[in-house]
Amino acid sequence: MDLITPTTTLAIFFSLIMSIIKPARPNNHKDMKHTLMLMFMLSMIPLNTLLNYNNELTMTISPLILTQTENINISILLDTLSLMFIPMALFITWSITEFSIWYMSSDPNISKFIKYLTTFLITMIIIITANNVYLLFIGWEGVGIMSFLLIGWWNSRSNANTAALQAIIYNRVGDVGLIFTITWSLTFSSANFQELLIQYELPNITPTIGLMAAAVGKSAQFSLHPWLPAAMEGPTPVSALLHSSTMVMAGVFLLIRLYPILHNNNTMKLTCLILGAVTTMFAATAAITQHDIKKIIALSTTSQLGLMMTMLGLNQPTLAFLHMTIHSFFKALLFLCSGSFIHNLNNEQDLRMMGNLINTMPMTSSSVIIASLSLMGMPFLSGFYSKDTMIETMMSSHMNTWALTITLIATALSASYSMQIILFVLTGPPRTNPVYHKETKNTIYPLMRLTLMSIFIGYMTKLSTLQPTTTMTMPLVTKLMALLMMTLGIILSKDLFSISLPMPPKKSQTINLFFNQLAFFNIPHRAVSFKTLKSAQQVSTELMDLWTLENYGPKGLSKSLTHLILLSTQQKNMIKNYMTTFTFTLLILLILTST
């Protein structure tokens, strides 16, 4: 039984690599869809073994590089986190790849695009199965490079190039933190995770700061968040994969994997709690002010990542992982539905220009309704099982009244913007001329699969993983608080919908503009760059030209000659003295020459 898990995992990994490196054929991208489907079915075998026996395996090969202090080798860890994440990532990538075949059909490089998506998946699998810091770093940099290539896929557009650069630069800020932690672990501990995590009894602030910086950059937490909405310049399948099972999940996954390092460090847990709560609230508020459907869904991802970070701050890494897994399905579904709408409306992304699509695209409309309700936390859809549990966990904690209040407000706002998507896109008269695309099987099948998982994955997870626990009692109002806030958000969205529809031509209010511009976006992108340019201009012109060059150039030279001029100037208007001096000098000169 112990051989099944490593064998199937290696088979999945090498099959994906072989599908990438084999030479391109006309229908090569269609073969990838079948490969991913087969790999997903294969990945269910180790998951079944895990659920039955709850075992954990480590595979290590002989050292590749031998040094005096550390042996560098390839080591893979197969535990609950990795064996649950792999099938989820394969299932979502399978659905996104099938959707991409339709969405990118007019692109001449579609085979290359599908290979890039699969490479993106492989680098994420390396992160989740890595058992030492070397493999982790390879996967970490791999997802960064692939995100750069995929976000800038349409590189003839300047916005796409800017967004790709923005993503890689913001992540580089976080990568400094990861490199810092890796250096610390190699110096004071070990490269292997088992040996590294044994030392968690002694809390150390040094590696946790690096881990936090890495997670903030990769998972787009507040202060390093502007790259995530900007990444919407890439093709919609890229956005779906980026936000559901790769890239942005890597930061939170890193903290979950190495959580024992944070476990006894109350300062870092408090930082996680505050940062997560602020990110959740801010991203939800910013999503309310946006009108681009993809940016709203992107900010929704940031908000949910903040919720996962809050759970890490409350010492609940398993709950954060549960929400990460469940959230991936309905977030991928939301992006694919938005891609279908955008394609149908001739690349129109503004919500206010959509309408009445429930009649022209009934299957996609049904999927987006289910995905939005699941995101809100509607009872008995999959999002309810993680979101409701997280809010109940926050209520039973003693340290977070402030964070709980912010999270409840963010819950209402998330219900509001999700309902706004439904109202704007599906109801009312058509507000633009659609280019009717028939809902083909390439569109419907991936959406149907993800819709079914958005309905049932929460219930299946509850049945398979939650053991009988002590019944927790709480007042009815407390128990229903998440549902009440969701209802409040839906009511609010109806009012916002009525206000937004006439679209009066007026200047945005300051607070609206503040969130619409993503607030902190202005500081690194505009304020800092403007101040830097201004100060550089002042240094180069005023300091260098007007002061340094003047004082040490002509003025400096004239000042250095002033004393000599004063010494040599005897013009006192005393003509008798001048004549006497001249006569005596002339006589002395004649005497000296005659002798």
pLDDT tens, residue order, the chain (595 aa): 467 888 888 899 888 988 888 776 666 677 888 899 999 999 998 888 887 777 788 888 888 888 777 778 889 999 989 999 999 999 999 999 999 999 998 888 898 999 999 999 999 999 999 999 999 999 999 999 999 999 999 988 999 999 999 999 999 989 999 999 999 888 888 888 888 888 766 667 888 999 999 999 999 898 888 899 889 999 999 999 999 888 899 999 999 999 988 888 888 999 999 999 999 999 999 898 888 999 999 999 999 999 999 999 998 999 999 999 999 999 999 999 999 999 888 888 988 888 888 888 899 999 999 999 999 999 989 999 899 888 888 887 766 788 889 999 999 999 999 999 999 999 888 877 766 667 878 789 999 999 999 999 988 887 776 555 555 677 888 888 889 999 999 998 888 887 776 555 455 566 666 676 666 566 666 777 778 888 888 777 777 776 777 777 777 777 666 555 554 555 566 777 778 888 888 889 888 887 6
Q: Which two tokens stand for residue 449?
A: 């699969």
Cα–Cα distance, 412 to 489 (Å, whole number): 4
CA dihedral 78, 470, 310, 205 (to 10 degrees): -70
Strand 57-60 vs strand 71-72: parallel, antiparallel, or unpaired?
Answer: unpaired
Q: Which two tokens stand for residue 37?
A: 């489907």
* Amino acid letter, 268: M
- Determine which helix (DSSP H) or strand (DSSP E) holds 66, and give its type and residue range: strand 65-66
* Amino acid letter, 390: M
Can you say whether the dihedral through the CA atoms of 210, 211, 214, 215 is positive or negative?
A: negative
* Amino acid letter, 444: I
Given the structure tokens 């927790």, which residue do they identify? 472
Cα–Cα distance, 211 to 279 (Å, whole number): 17
420 neighbors 354 (Cβ within 8 angstroms): no
3-state secondary structure 83-96: HHHHHHHHHHHHHH
Among residues 125, 164, 327, which one has the least CA distance to residue 246?
A: 125
Instruction: Give me the DSSP letters along 124-141.
Output: HHHHHHB-BHHHHHHHHH
Cα–Cα distance, 585 to 476 (Å, whole number): 118
| pLDDT number for residue 1 | 47
Residues in the chain: 595
Cα–Cα distance, 426 to 360 (Å, whole number): 9
Torsion angles phi and psi, residue 158, rounded to 5 = -65, -35
Q: Please give the distance of CA 436 from its chain centroid, rounded to a whole number.
A: 33
Cα–Cα distance, 527 to 530 (Å, whole number): 5
**Number of other residues whose CB lies within 10 A of the CB of residue 173:** 16
User: Using N-to-C axis directions, what is the helix angle for 382-395 and 317-344, rounded to 10°?
Assistant: 140
| pLDDT number for residue 563 | 57
3-state secondary structure of 71: strand
Strand 65-66 vs strand 75-78: parallel, antiparallel, or unpaired?
Answer: unpaired
